[in-house]
Amino acid sequence: MERDGSGSRDADFSELVFSRWPKLVRLAYGFTGDVGLAEDLAQTALANAYAYWSRLRRADDPDRYLIRILINTHRSSFRKRRLAESLSGMWSGEHASALTADPTSAVDDRGAIITALAGLPPRQREVVVLRYWLDLTEAQVASLLDCSVGTVKSQASRALAKLRLSPELQEWGSR
């Protein structure tokens, strides 16, 4: 019986992993600006989800639960990563330059926005990606980030102001 229960649990969990992996990695990529780190974060978040699987299964909105886990994982690691990135030049340096060096303008554009995002504080990056990539409402973002709607508004406003001034996105004002 126990084996049957575990097998069913693993089958359900496998389905969750394969269906949510792309979204979580992309979300983490928006948070970190680095594919490897993003995959690491998504992997850790899904492993934590496994540990809380019974709660996750009962959750009204499992996606919201997963994103919360991902955000917590990101927050507990961003300071460490900031150091590692500053030491290795990965942060908005080698990675971003690799993107911007691509000969196609589409990739240049993608590299520019990721490089510009990397210049924001982690909290503002989270707000921007949740608000403008996942298209969540300000109230939903506030709930995910455990803060007030006013904080989301102010963080988004500051982020937008910074992005408009970033060298990578200088042409925004003229578009």
Partner 1 sequence: MMPDTEQQLRARLGPALDELQLRPAPLAAIVRDGRKAKVRKRISLAASLAAGAAVVTAAALTLPSVLSGPAPAPPLSTHYHVTANSPGPLSPPGQIASGKINGVAWSVRAKFERPDYFFTGIGTFIPQGTSLPGRYTTGDPVDGFLTALAGTAIQLDAVRADVTLVRVGLTNGQVLSLRPVAAIGAGNARLIAFATPDFRDVLSLTAFGKQGEIGYEIPWTGHTWFMVGQWLKPGQPALPRPQTAVTGSGTAFGHSWRQLVSSGPWGWCGEGDIDGGGGAGVCAAVLPALRPGVYYQDAGFAGGSVIGKSGLIMSAQVADSVAVIEFTTRSGQHTWVRPRRVGGRAFVSFASTTDAKAPQTVIRWAAYDGHHHLLGSGSAEQAP
Q: Is 22 in the site for partner 1 (CB under 8 A)?
A: yes
What does residue 121 show for φ and ψ, rounded to 5 degrees? -60, 155
| Contact pick of 61, 102, 133, 137 for partner 1 (by CB under 8 A) | 133
| Contact pick of 137, 148, 149, 162 for partner 1 (by CB under 8 A) | 148
Q: Are 159 and 127 in contact (CB under 8 A)?
A: yes
The 51-70 site mask, x for binding partner 1 (CB under 8 A), equals xxx-----------------
Q: Is 27 in the site for partner 1 (CB under 8 A)?
A: yes
The 74-103 site mask, x for binding partner 1 (CB under 8 A), equals -xxxxxx-xxx--xxxx---xx--x-----
Q: Is 112 in the site for partner 1 (CB under 8 A)?
A: yes
Question: 45 Cβ partners below 8 Å, 6+ apart?
Answer: 24, 28, 66, 69, 70, 73
Which C-beta is closer to partner 1: that of 132 or that of 139? 132
Q: Is 132 in the site for partner 1 (CB under 8 A)?
A: yes
Closest distance of CB 1 from partner 1, Å: 19
Which C-beta is closer to partner 1: that of 62 or that of 72? 72
Closest distance of CB 81 from partner 1, Å: 9
| Contact pick of 18, 60, 104, 167 for partner 1 (by CB under 8 A) | 18
Query: How far apart are alpha carbons 87 and 113 in whole angstroms?
Result: 23
